[in-house]
Amino acid sequence: MVAIIDYDAGNIKSVEKAMQLLGQEVKITRDRDEIMAADHVILPGVGAFGDAMEKLHQYGLVEVIHEVTKKGTPFLGICLGLQLLFERSDEAPGVEGLGVLKGDILKLPDKEGYKIPHMGWNSLDFPREGRLFKGLGEHPYVYFVHSYYLKAAEEEIVTATADYTTTIHASVEKGNVFACQFHPEKSSDVGLQILKNFVEL
């Protein structure tokens, strides 16, 4: 069973649909026991860092996320879900992130000819081999919607980068914890392959 953590985040239904397309049993839940019993856990997200952390605290999910990631269950953060796994964000000064991984979420720099938010398709580069990207060719295109980006403290966890006004750490992998800044559930066949790789872990 795949548990999708429900903290009122925006893209839950599209993640659920993608998982069902892959033939997975899915539960959208904020129940601790269901999350702890799941074979795979996804933290989706569209919205603001500060509001999201407030909701995670309100629903008692901060401790649950720490428990389930320590337990070794394959865990995937998507978009805002990636950002929340880190320590802090320019979007919400003074708000502590989950701190499961080390690094900062920074505002995308302004650059002439580029619009922010970064919205649309962008190609990925793979600085090292990531288990999520098995079976994909070089420089696949995926779908992004964001104004803030990850700068991971540990370069060795970065498995994909993208260029948009700067180098974005677009995906990370550390042990059982995976995260993507882009939306695999909105990234057509490439995204489905990424999600398939995740549920086959």
40: annotated active-site residue: no
Q: Which of 118, 146, 169, 183 is catalytic?
A: 183
Residue spans of alpha helices (H) in the chain: 12-21, 32-37, 49-58, 61-71, 80-84, 188-199
**Residues 6+ positions from 194 with CB-CB distance below 8 Å:** 132, 133, 136, 142, 180, 184, 187
Find the helix packing angle between 61-71 and 49-58, rounded to 10°. Answer: 90
> In this structure, are residues 132 and 190 in contact, taking their beta carbons and an 8 Å threshold?
no
Catalytic residue among 16, 79, 91, 180: 79
183 belongs to the catalytic site: yes
Count of CB atoms within 10 A of residue 19's CB? 22
**In the block, residue with structure tokens 């900062």:** 104
Dihedral sign from CA coordinates of 181, 182, 185, 190: negative
Question: Does the annotation mark 180 as catalytic?
Answer: no
Distance CA 104, CA 155 (A): 12
Find the catalytic residue in 16, 91, 173, 185. 185
What is the number of residues in the chain? 201
Which of 102, 80, 101 shows the shortest CA–CA distance to 91? 80
**Residues taking part in catalysis:** 79, 183, 185
